[in-house]
Amino acid sequence: MLKAVLFDLDGTLLDTAADFTRVLNSLLSEHGLPLQHYDAVRHRVSDGARAVVNLGFSLTPEHPDFDGLLNAFLDRYEQALSEQTSLFPGMDEQLQALEARDIAWGIVTNKPERFTTPLLEQLGLTERCATAICPDHVRERKPAAEPILLACAQLGIRADEAVYVGDHRRDIEAGQNAQMPTIACRYGYVSEGETPEDWNPDRIIDTPQGLLAALRDLQLLED
């Protein structure tokens, strides 16, 4: 019996790419560098801020200027987390449908708590979200199973009583490592050169509206 649906955050539950693009381009503009197109940034968001900074400045983390630029990016992002960020279209209806069935939903993300907690508050999701696990709470982040298993422990459920939904290979691997059914989101920030079929998820959805149908198809949800 399905008791919870756990989501990745960026690119799965929330569409955050516009804010990442805005912050990166403001920093690039100050340094007199070419601005990055939204689509290019979108493909990097699920790999984190380091990947976004690498895209804009063409620097690896080993470069002496990288940490300073990364910190400047993160500080600027923290000041305006939700100017253009929202739930993906159709996602709120899916969450409401889960809530109406008394199925908890939560978040397991590699986004640090420093950004996750205020972002959820700003979007009015804190009270609705049953658990939110960030890298700060575990020793090993995704694709390790530890964050997902911690979420299950907080909810008082077994891994096979939940499903994990994500838009990156590491999300599906994390769910598989936790021995949990997985759903991949083709609508999310799938990295260039990747295809969700390669990750071997249990199901793939093209839009948020496909979530409940996928759960039914997995025989995890009854009408």
Question: Token pair of 14, please?
Answer: 């929330």
* Residue-wise pLDDT tens digits, 130-163: 999 999 999 999 999 999 999 999 999 999 999 9
Annotation marks residue 10 as catalytic: yes
Contacts of 172 (CB under 8 A, 6+ apart): 164, 166, 182, 184, 196, 199, 200, 201
Please identify which residue in the block is written with the tokens 């420093």: 114
What is the DSSP code (8-state) at residue 194?
-
- The CA distance from 8 to 172, in Å, is 10
pLDDT of 223 over the 80 cut? no
Residue 196: strand, helix, or coil:
helix
Q: What's the pLDDT score for residue 127?
A: 97
Kindly report the average pLDDT of the chain as a whole number: 97
What is the DSSP code (8-state) at residue 10?
B
Residue 200's pLDDT band (boundaries 50, 70, 90)?
Answer: very high
176 bridge partner residues: none
In contact, 87 and 14? CB cutoff 8 Å? yes
Architecture field, domain 4-15+87-217: 3-Layer(aba) Sandwich (3.40)
Domain ranges in the chain? 4-15+87-217, 17-79
The fraction of the chain above a pLDDT of 70, given in percent, is 100
* Residue-wise pLDDT tens digits, 38-57: 999 999 998 889 999 999 99
Annotation marks residue 8 as catalytic: yes
Residue 100's pLDDT band (boundaries 50, 70, 90)?
Answer: very high
Query: Once rounded to an integer, what is the mean pLDDT over residues 183-204?
Result: 96
* Residue-wise pLDDT tens digits, 20-37: 999 999 999 999 999 999
- The CA distance from 190 to 45, in Å, is 9
Query: Once rounded to an integer, what is the mean pLDDT over residues 103-126?
Result: 98
Q: What's the pLDDT score for residue 207?
A: 98
Q: What's the pLDDT score for residue 4?
A: 98
Please identify which residue in the block is written with the tokens 């539950």: 13
Q: What's the pLDDT score for residue 46?
A: 86
pLDDT of 176 over the 80 cut? yes
Radius of gyration of the chain from its Cα atoms, rounded to whole angstroms: 17
Q: What's the pLDDT score for residue 5?
A: 99
Q: What's the pLDDT score for residue 192?
A: 85
CA-CA-CA-CA torsion sign (55, 60, 65, 66): positive
Ramachandran region of residue 105, left (φ > 0), alpha (ψ -120 to 50) or beta?
beta
Helix or strand (DSSP H, E) at 38: helix 38-42
